[in-house]
């Protein structure tokens, strides 16, 4: 089942000689439950593309479909509601509210939507992310890895259909990076969510079902894990 589709997507900044095509005529689709990593060098358009997918930025041209609906035509108020209910965002900066406890931070998206938290689901989510003994702590009482787990739980609090993660392990060490990605991968699989993750680390991208590589705002490769496995097997045989 198709969850996301973009058609001839473009995002341009500036005019004339100063014009920059951050995303240049990009088209692809992502199925429900798929884990896609988007990679590329700095300035390749990765974060801009993610922001367009999540409705955080307006497209210059082209279309973005979420669940078959063209969100590029939505007004800001409709976009805001769609983001709260269908998309969970995880960024490199944890962006936790310092005066709120772990559990209060996690519940924030639900309360902002004037909805009633599903306490059983939240308990399950908190336990899965290893935060049960930390849920009454404040952010400054947590390690970096624990803070990012809180950010992940907050992104998943509404049980959104889509998780968009922009360099979510950029502030973590190697061990915490591995643990967080494994937890994120397990979580979206358990709840049948679609995960699109921006990274510059190929070791992280290698954990995804599919890797899309961007260069100068365009897709230069799009490979699934079975294709990459075949390539690695061929290399091994040649060696």
The per-residue DSSP string of the chain comes to -EEEEEEEEEEEES-GGG-EEEEEEEEEEEETT-EEEEE-STTSSHHHHHHHHTTSS--SEEEEEETTEEGGG--HHHHHHHHHHHEEEEESS----TTS-HHHHHHHHHHHTT----HHHHHHHHHHTT-GGGTTS-GGGS-HHHHHHHHHHHHHTT--SEEEEESTTTTS-HHHHHHHHHHHHHHHHHTT-EEEEE-S-HHHHTTSSEEEEEETTEEEEEEEHHHHHHHHHHHHHH-
Number of structural domains found in the chain: 1
Q: Is the pLDDT of residue 17 over 60?
A: yes
Confidence class of residue 229 from pLDDT cuts 50, 70 and 90?
very low
Domain around 115? 32-49+81-238
**Domain-embedded: residue 11:** no
Look at residue 236 in the predicted model and tell me its pLDDT.
35
Look at residue 212 in the predicted model and tell me its pLDDT.
97
pLDDT tens digits, residue range 149-193?
Answer: 899 999 989 889 999 999 888 888 888 888 888 888 888 888 889
**Domain-embedded: residue 6:** no
Cα distance between residue 39 and residue 61, in whole Å: 23
**Domain-embedded: residue 61:** no
**Domain-embedded: residue 205:** yes
User: Domain containing 212 — which CATH number?
Assistant: 3.40.50.300
Give the number of other Cβ atoms within 10 Å of residue 136's Cβ. 10
**Domain-embedded: residue 55:** no
């Amino acid at each position: 089942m198709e969850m996301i589709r973009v058609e001839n997507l473009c995002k341009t900044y500036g005019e004339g000689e100063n014009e920059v095509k951050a995303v240049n005529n990009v088209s692809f689709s992502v199925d429900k439950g798929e884990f896609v990593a988007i990679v590329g060098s700095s300035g390749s358009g990765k974060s801009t593309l993610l922001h367009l997918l999540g409705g955080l930025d307006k497209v210059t041209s082209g279309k973005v479909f979420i669940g078959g609906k063209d969100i590029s035509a939505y007004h800001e108020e409709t976009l805001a509601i769609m983001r709260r209910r269908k998309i969970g965002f995880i960024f490199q900066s944890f962006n936790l509210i310092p005066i709120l406890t772990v559990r209060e931070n996690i519940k924030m998206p639900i309360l902002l939507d004037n909805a009633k938290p599903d306490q059983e689901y939240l308990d399950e989510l908190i336990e899965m992310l290893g935060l049960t003994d930390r849920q009454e702590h404040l952010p400054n009482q947590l390690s970096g890895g624990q803070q990012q787990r809180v950010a992940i739980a907050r992104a998943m609090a509404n049980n959104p259909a889509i998780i968009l993660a922009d360099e979510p392990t950029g502030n973590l060490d190697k061990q915490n990076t591995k643990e967080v990605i494994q937890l994120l991968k397990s979580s979206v699989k358990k709840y049948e969510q679609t995960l699109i993750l921006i990274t510059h680390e190929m070791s992280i991208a290698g954990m995804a079902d599919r890797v899309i590589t961007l260069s100068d705002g365009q897709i230069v490769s799009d490979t699934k894990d079975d294709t990459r496995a075949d390539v690695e097997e061929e290399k091994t045989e040649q060696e």
